[in-house]
Amino acid sequence: MNPTTTALVLIEFQNDFTTEGGTLHGAVKDVMDKEHVLDHARQAADAVRAAGGAVLHCPITFAPGYGEITAHPYGILKGVVDSSSFVRGGWGAEICQELTPVDGDIVIEGKRGLDAFGSTNLDFVLRSKGITTVVLAGFLTNCCVESTMRSAYEKGFEVITLTDAVGATSVEEHDSAIKFDYPMFSKPMSTDEFVAALGADRELADASRGY
């Protein structure tokens, strides 16, 4: 895990999920509170920045009226439309205060579906920066995070998922995805484990360069 070839990808840390008053906050609040998701995501972001890695934000947004998707959505996107979530220009679609992008962060635009690679230039940005290790955090554990995890795995990246920096609409769904699906397509680890490994690898890399 060379920090300079590592990117933390933060998926949908937006007010509609993360913040009191958000349209979907009530659905994910239990898991957020149980796992201390925002604290762990911020811890990971600070560690990656300090080590010289990249932090990428992948929000999802839609124009008012949701013209970018089918007029008859079903599944998770129907829930987004029915709850009027992630409308571009609205407070709910904004990245939450706790994870506001800082100078040097990259905001990936164009996410309209589940897989963060699907309708964006995420793959191009990662490869152009020489990224080989992708670290995932965000929402939902068993939806957009898992979809992105599977694609990253298929694309040949080393994939790490931060098990306490992801959130779902129920503890059962969250725990099930982490137990059964995540090990198939990633290296699941806690934020503390990731930060420790990142620091150890940074020290080894510095030592090899004579720092």
**Per-residue model confidence as pLDDT tens digits over 51-86:** 999 999 999 999 999 999 999 999 999 999 999 999
Q: Each residue of 134-163: pLDDT tens digit?
A: 999 999 999 999 999 999 999 999 999 999
Decide the pairing of beta strands 54-58 and 133-139: unpaired
**64: which residues sit within 8 A by CB, 6+ positions away?**
87, 88, 89
Question: In whole angstroms, what is the distance from residue 15 CA to residue 143 CA?
Answer: 18
Q: Each residue of 28-54: pLDDT tens digit?
A: 999 999 999 999 999 999 999 999 999
- Give the 3-state secondary structure percentages of the chain, helix then strand then coil, rounded to 5: 45, 20, 35
Domains of the chain: 3-203 (3.40.50.850)
Q: What is the rounded average pLDDT for all residues in the chain?
A: 94
Question: Residue 208 has what pLDDT?
Answer: 39
Q: Each residue of 90-133: pLDDT tens digit?
A: 999 999 999 999 999 999 999 999 999 999 999 999 999 999 99
3-state secondary structure of 144: helix
pLDDT > 90 fraction of the chain, expressed in percent and rounded? 93
Question: In whole angstroms, what is the distance from residue 55 CA to residue 63 CA?
Answer: 26
Question: In whole angstroms, what is the distance from residue 191 CA to residue 83 CA?
Answer: 31
pLDDT over threshold 80, residue 209: no
The alpha carbon torsion through 18, 23, 28, 34 (nearest 10 deg) reads 50
Partnered with residue 138 across adjacent β-strands are: 11, 166
pLDDT > 70 fraction of the chain, expressed in percent and rounded? 94
- DSSP label at residue 6: E
Question: Residue 1 has what pLDDT?
Answer: 79
Question: Residue 199 has what pLDDT?
Answer: 84
pLDDT over threshold 90, residue 210: no
Question: In whole angstroms, what is the distance from residue 208 CA to residue 149 CA?
Answer: 31
